[in-house]
Chain A
Amino acid sequence: MNNRYVRKTLAATRNGVVDPSVEVHLWLDELQDVVRDYGEDLRSQQLPTEPAYDLLALLGKLRRARRDLIDDGDGRSEFEEAILLFEGNSQLLCQAALSVPNGEAWLHAATEYAASFDQVLDVGEETRWAVDLLEDLDDAELVIAVAARQGITDPEVENDVGRCTEWLGGHIDLFLPASVYAQAVGQTLRPDLEQWDYELAATVLKFVDLLDEAEQAEYEMQHPIVKPLLPSFVSCLYEQYRVECEGAPLTAFRASEVLPEEAEPVLAADADVELPQRCLRWRSPDGRYLAEMYVPPKPTDRGDEEPLVLVVYRQTDDAPAEELAGQRVWLGSATPKTLQKEGRVTFLLAELRVSDRLCLSVGSRDRLWEALEE
């Protein structure tokens, strides 16, 4: 039978990283703590709300879990004890638990999480944050489902939590960092959950959505049609990040600002005006060399076939850097070229035009030369 809660195509599942018993055993520990610490209170008329909430959420999680995982953790008697506790005071427990969920606070936290994607965050931290939010919402949905089974509902709470579930559905891609956790939860589930308890099955739809999303994302990332980015393009992106986010000195010219516009018709009046050529200059990371390239201010007769010569020379005596001859030169997204004996190398305007930024490196692609202000 096809089990939509287990996705063998996903890398973590395929490689055996996912261990559903870990999650089930943690739930059993938590259940044991609640019963041990609050058992007496939970049987009384004056219920503490949060332990009641924990009890319902954990019972829901374990009810939808595979029995073999509960047995493997030697948790059957603890689970049964908790069920008895619940059944002895179920009405009050449900009412107390339903007073806890605060959907507005969850939505606020989730929006903050979504906004965090504009910044750089440690992968581990991102995962924990995503998991925390998913778990938190899952608890609320489980409490509602378990209470509904006892015939106790609270439309206001359901509506509140429903808005969170809806928000999650619209932003499920942001929760891909929690994919491994979702795979683990998926593997804890009874394969026949939908037939066994429809209310509980509805609580895991968010995990199913996330698993679908993860499958799609992994497929897209690993599919052969996805070609690796050109290293020069990555260098330029990195350069852009350094300049914009870290305030690093500029090491590249923006191609659209320094190259002549593409085949623009030249007005007769303009044609008479003699504009100076633009000189782009870079300095090597060790400061020993300079590179220069003269760029026409307007399109020439050759259009994009215009050759642009880059000259590399020593800063100390202005002599051509002949000692660098034979080294590879990367400029923007153009195909790397070899530096000639006279410290010269030629690029076509067309090659440079496709670049966003004109980052220069000589010898080593990772060592960017610093662009000097004109």
Chain B
Amino acid sequence: MAMRETTSRDGLQLANVPYPAPDHAEARLFGDWEKAVEHLTHHLLTAPECHAWALVIDDYTRLVDLRSADARFHFVEQARASHGQSAQALYDRYAHAVSADLRDASQLEWFVQHGQVTVAMGTTGILVVIVAVGGNDTLDRPRPIVKTAFLAGQGDPEAVRKSHRIPAAERRGMMRERPMRTPKRHGVSGEARGRRQRLREARWSTEERLYYRVFRPSVQHIMRCHHRNRDMFGRLRGNDYALLKDVLPRRSQLKLDHWRELRRDCRGDGLKP
């Protein structure tokens, strides 16, 4: 269970989450309420990632109407105005999900430490980056703070956010689609494809949805980063997610049935968040 810690009397109460490695017990879930609200905005309240969170956080759709961009925007505005207080319920559920994944990471040893950075992932597929800050003084130990905890491989919320801010002509390297697939003739619209997809997924079990729509894309994102986050000499650039590749099981050991087993080992009940 995430431990709450009051940081401002009237604003968001920040939580501590388990630290996956033995050198610390806990990490703070973001440095302050502003960072926390910013993160909720860009990941839990921005499409397409918000729809994946709805599969992770049980009663998420009771808190926010995810189908409506206006409703999400309104939620963000209220959260900012109240210093995060109005988003407390969402934050707590989010902290609960992150905590559970960090416990999985600890049990399965799905984490990597690289300098001051620890990258971890659990059986839901939440990718967590923790940075140890401070500690220059010999008596002052570095304090681990979660910098980001998101569902990877759901589309890039950062790119979505930037693209709204930057004129089309300057959207260099952002929001790229595969240009070769740009429709040149009539075809099935994206909306129609989405409808078909939803019909198909309706036949899936909750477990299958969580595996195929959340966990596996996250693993694929990490794998994809392995060759794509490097300069021409093979040095890692950009972020440390790719380091997780070496601690995750291989594809043949990470199919649906394997994942179910891992999930049961970690949580007892495969679906418990």
By a CB distance below 8 angstroms, the chain A residues around B187 are: 49-50, 99
B117 at the interface (CB under 8 A from A): no
What A residues does B227 contact at CB under 8 A? 18-19, 22-23, 131, 180-181, 184
* A202 close to B (CB within 8 Å): no
B228 touches A75 (CB 8 A): no
Could you say which of A28, A48, A135 contacts B188, with CB atoms under 8 Å apart? Answer: A48
Give the CA-CA distance A100 to B237 in the complex, in Å: 34
Which of A15, A49, A119, A123: most chain B CB closer than 10 A? A123
Cross-chain pairs A/B with CB under 8 angstroms, 15 sampled: A11-B234, A22-B223, A22-B226, A26-B220, A74-B251, A75-B251, A100-B181, A102-B180, A123-B237, A125-B238, A126-B173, A129-B176, A137-B180, A179-B232, A181-B227
How many angstroms between the C-alpha atoms of A53 and B182 in the bound complex? 13
CB-CB < 8 A to B164: which residues of A?
Answer: none
B252 within 8 A of A: yes
Return the contact of B178 from the options A11, A15, A21, A136 (Cβ within 8 A). A136
Residue B114 CB within 8 A of the other chain: no
Q: Which residues in window 70-121 of A have CB below 8 A to B?
A: 72-75, 99-106, 108-110, 112, 116, 119, 121
Contacts of B182 in A (CB 8 A): 102, 105
Among A116, A124, A164, A176, point to the contact of B232 (Cβ < 8 A). A176
Partner among A41, A74, A100, A140 whose Cβ is within 8 Å of the Cβ of B252: A74
Q: Across the interface, which residues of A come within 8 angstroms of B181, CB to CB?
A: 50, 53, 100-102, 136
Q: Which residues of A contact B193 (CB under 8 A)?
A: 48, 50
**In the complex the two chains form, is A129's CB within 8 Å of B250's CB?**
no
Knowing A74-B251, A100-B180, say if A22 contacts B245 (CB, 8 Å): yes
What is the number of residues of chain B that contact chain A, defined by CB distance less than 8 Å? 39
Expressed in whole angstroms, the Cα–Cα distance for A49 and B181 within the complex equals: 10
Which DSSP category, helix, strand, loop or mixed, fits chain A's interface? Answer: helix
Judged by a CB distance under 8 angstroms, whether A239 is at the interface is no
A17 CB-CB contact with B under 8 Å: yes
Complex contact B180–A101 (CB within 8 A):
yes
Known: A29-B220, A128-B228, A179-B232. A102 touches B251 (CB 8 A): no
Contact present for B173 and A139 (CB under 8 Å): no
**Closest Cβ–Cβ distance, residue A187 to chain B (whole Å):** 10
Residues A25 and B250 in contact, CB atoms below 8 Å apart:
yes
* Choice from A19, A28, A50, A129 contacting B173 with Cβ under 8 Å: A129
Among B184, B237, B238, B251, point to the contact of A28 (Cβ < 8 A).
Answer: B251
Which 7 A-B pairs have CB atoms at the shortest separation, nearest pair first?
Answer: A124-B238, A12-B234, A74-B252, A17-B234, A105-B182, A109-B179, A25-B251
Which chain B residue shows the least CB distance to A19? B226
**Does B9 touch A at the CB level, under 8 Å?**
no
Q: Are A125 and B173 in contact (CB under 8 A)?
A: yes
- Residues of chain A lying within 8 A (CB to CB) of residue B255: 74
**Are A127 and B228 touching (Cβ within 8 A)?**
yes
Given A102-B182, A181-B227, A37–B200 Cβ distance below 8 Å?
Answer: yes
- Residue A217 interfacial (CB < 8 Å): yes
Asked whether A121 lies within 8 Å of B172 as measured between CB atoms, the reply is yes
A15 and B234 within 8 A (CB): yes
Q: Tell me, yes or no, whether B10 is within 8 Å of chain A by CB.
A: no
Q: A49-B188, A53-B181 are in contact. Are A217 and B173 (CB under 8 A)?
A: no
Q: Across the interface, which residues of A come within 8 angstroms of B200, CB to CB?
A: 37
Docked CA distance A29–B184 (Å)? 28
Chain A residues contacting B250 (CB-CB under 8 Å) are 21, 25, 72-73
